[in-house]
């Protein structure tokens, strides 16, 4: 298992795009090695194909571009399955029972006048932190286009932005919330219902043209779900 800069895969390699620092999916240990749920899944797929596993660690926005350009074979980053993503790429469900609400985070307390996203949207000078390319970005842009978004690529940046009052709120993936609250207990949470915006879980993203890899990944996930 290696981490390499941006390049095309050799025929015997499997280039997997991940985003480290995204607990519990992919993190870097004290020795600089990637670990986590997504890393274990990638190892099983590479083993089934008999290919050498090579990781590319990038931001989510960069990973989505890399997949479309063919500079990675698949994307494993706790990626929510949304309607737009499923239309643009193959997505194999591998984790999660479905999401019905997103957590909206505030520093220490939720303002008394904010009980819904509509209330937040009324504050015309307010910005909300999101991760670029995330399902939270897609949700807000589709449902609350008047909100000003501040796009930050790491959770540490988002937390610091809230702490120092640069943004009033942040919307994040619910899968990372338990550990995030444990690490940063000052965060207050307002749950925002998704209503008709449905997310059935997280998926492995691949190009639709890569039938061999889609079949291998599907078989690995089917085996994992039986365990």
- Whole-number percent of the chain with pLDDT over 90: 58
In this structure, the answer to whether residues 83 and 18 fall within a common structural domain is: yes
Phi/psi of residue 98, nearest 5 degrees: 110, 145
In this structure, the answer to whether residues 140 and 211 fall within a common structural domain is: no
Q: 137-171 pLDDT, tens per residue?
A: 999 999 999 999 999 988 899 999 999 999 999 99
In this structure, the answer to whether residues 159 and 188 fall within a common structural domain is: yes
Number of independent structural domains in the chain:
2
In this structure, the answer to whether residues 71 and 111 fall within a common structural domain is: no
In this structure, the answer to whether residues 117 and 180 fall within a common structural domain is: yes
In this structure, the answer to whether residues 106 and 139 fall within a common structural domain is: yes
In this structure, the answer to whether residues 121 and 91 fall within a common structural domain is: no
- Place 132 in a pLDDT band, splitting at 50, 70 and 90: very high
Q: 83-105 pLDDT, tens per residue?
A: 889 999 999 998 887 889 999 99
- Whole-number percent of the chain with pLDDT over 70: 95
Spatial CA neighbour of 117 closest among 161, 142, 147, 151: 147
Distance between terminal CA atoms of the chain? Answer: 24
Pairing state between β 2-3 and 52-57: parallel
Burial of 134 (0-12, 13-18, 19+ CB in 10 A): buried
Specify the pTM: 0.76
Q: 23-33 pLDDT, tens per residue?
A: 788 888 888 88
pLDDT score recorded for residue 3: 52
> Which CATH number characterizes residue 112's domain?
3.40.190.10
In this structure, the answer to whether residues 138 and 208 fall within a common structural domain is: no
Overall average pLDDT of the 27-48 stretch: 90
- Place 182 in a pLDDT band, splitting at 50, 70 and 90: very high
- Place 118 in a pLDDT band, splitting at 50, 70 and 90: very high
Q: Flag whether pLDDT at 129 surpasses 80.
A: yes
In this structure, the answer to whether residues 108 and 183 fall within a common structural domain is: yes
In this structure, the answer to whether residues 40 and 112 fall within a common structural domain is: no
In this structure, the answer to whether residues 9 and 92 fall within a common structural domain is: yes
In this structure, the answer to whether residues 55 and 111 fall within a common structural domain is: no
Domain housing 77: 2-97+200-226
What number of helices (H) and strands (E) belong to the chain?
A: 8, 13
């Amino acid at each position: 298992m290696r981490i390499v800069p941006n390049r095309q895969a050799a025929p015997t390699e499997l280039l997997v795009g991940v985003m480290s620092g995204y607990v519990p999916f992919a993190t870097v240990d004290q020795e600089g090695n990637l670990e986590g749920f997504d890393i274990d899944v990638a190892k099983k797929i590479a083993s089934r194909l008999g290919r050498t596993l090579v990781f590319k660690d990038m931001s989510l926005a960069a990973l989505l571009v890399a997949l479309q350009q063919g500079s990675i074979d698949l994307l494993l980053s706790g990626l929510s399955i949304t309607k737009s993503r499923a239309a643009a790429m193959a997505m194999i469900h591998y984790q999660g029972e479905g999401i019905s609400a997103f957590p909206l985070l505030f520093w220490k307390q939720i303002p008394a006048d904010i009980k819904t996203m509509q209330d937040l949207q009324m504050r015309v000078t307010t910005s909300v932190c999101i991760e670029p390319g995330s399902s939270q970005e897609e949700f807000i842009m589709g449902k609350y286009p008047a909100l000003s978004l501040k796009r930050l690529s790491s959770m540490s940046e988002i937390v610091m932005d809230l702490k120092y009052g640069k943004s009033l709120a942040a919307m994040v993936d619910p899968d990372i919330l338990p550990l995030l609250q444990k690490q940063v207990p000052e965060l207050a949470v307002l749950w925002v219902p998704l209503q008709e915006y449905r997310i059935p879980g997280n998926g492995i993203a691949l190009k639709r043209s890569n039938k061999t890899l889609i079949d291998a990944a599907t078989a690995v996930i089917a085996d994992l779900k039986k365990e």
